[in-house]
Amino acid sequence: MKQYVVDAFTDHVFSGNPAAVCVMEQWLPEETMMQITKENNLSETAFAVKENDGYRLRWFTPGGEIDLCGHATLATAFVIMKYIDAQLDHITFHTMSGDLVVKKAGDLLEMDFPAYDLQPVEISQEIIDTLGIKPQKVYMGRDLLCVVSEEEFVRNFVPDLEKIKALPGLLLHITAQGKEYDCVSRSFAPKLNVAEDPVCGSGHCHIVPYWLQALQKDTLVAYQASARGGVLYCQMNENRVVLRGKAALYAESEIYF
């Protein structure tokens, strides 16, 4: 079975967020998909099968299946549009989070995702101890979003993964207003056996709604300040988050099992 590895939210390899992509004729047993995912040892492996007017898409982390993943969706659309059906200018993915449409937008790929409903939560001592500082604000969607005052804190933060595991939410995102970019962030997912997600699309379904409102802007250029780094071009459309980014093919290979 052919597999592609794509660096998402970047225009060159060795940056952005790598995702493995398998576009298949039919579904493999779930156990096999998990074994492939663990063997890849990337934050996500995406599996897609053509279905009706689009593709059924599922995302797996080394810790299990997940309900939404931005970078692996971008990577899958990139693979299908470039290597499988170059005539397509948009794709509808049928997913656990509903239908997700990805379309070409010049030299970018544009994704339309559901925004998470952010609820303010109490800044607990547990959160303060985990970050080492008291954040300005904390919100809960699917994940925990902590807003801090300094970009340098986000960039230099050294995570204690065991403490992060004990926090509520599936992932932890820390974010601050940026200098070169509208906002900067980092995303940690030890509950999914992923220490840090290099560029987290679903995380920006928390981050973008917050910063658009806080900055009173219509569009954002967001930077994920992981070691690899990645840029997302973002806006809202009612209760949907529009994420645009680039992708670069790192490898294609054959899986034998």
The CATH number of whichever domain residue 179 belongs to comes to 3.10.310.10
Task: Extract the tokens encoding 73.
Answer: 């969706």
Residues 146 and 51 in one domain: no
Residues 39 and 13 in one domain: yes
Strand (E) or helix (H) holding 57:
strand 54-61
Residues 53 and 99 in one domain: yes
pLDDT tens digit at each of 257 positions of the chain: 999 999 999 999 999 999 999 999 999 999 999 999 999 999 999 999 999 899 999 999 999 999 999 999 999 999 999 999 999 999 999 999 999 999 999 999 999 999 999 999 999 999 999 999 999 999 999 999 999 999 999 999 999 999 999 999 999 999 999 999 999 999 999 999 999 999 999 999 999 999 999 999 999 999 999 999 999 999 999 999 999 999 999 999 999 98
Residues 82 and 68 in one domain: yes
Q: How many domains does the chain have?
A: 2
From the candidates 30, 44, 122, 151, which is the catalytic residue?
44
Helix (H, G, I), strand (E, B) or coil at 214: helix
Residues 197 and 143 in one domain: yes
Determine whether 44 is an active site residue: yes
Report how far apart, in Å, the C-alpha atoms of 183 and of each of 32, 125, 130, 146 are: 39, 25, 22, 13
Range(s) of the domain holding residue 170: 119-240
pLDDT at residue 257 in the model: 87
Neighbours of 129 (CB within 10 A): 12
Helix (H, G, I), strand (E, B) or coil at 80: helix
Strands 144-147, 172-177: pairing is parallel
Residues 145 and 195 in one domain: yes
Residues 235 and 125 in one domain: yes
Residues 100 and 154 in one domain: no
Q: Tell me the whole-structure pTM to 2 decimals.
A: 0.92
Residues 123 and 227 in one domain: yes
For 249, residues 6+ apart whose C-beta sits below 8 A from its C-beta are 4, 5, 6, 7, 13, 78, 79, 82
Neighbours of 227 (CB within 10 A): 8
Spatial distance between the Cα atoms of 140 and 231, rounded to a whole number of angstroms? 24
Residues 127 and 209 in one domain: yes
Report how far apart, in Å, the C-alpha atoms of 159 and of each of 111, 125, 230 are: 29, 16, 19
Residues 124 and 194 in one domain: yes
Residues 13 and 110 in one domain: yes
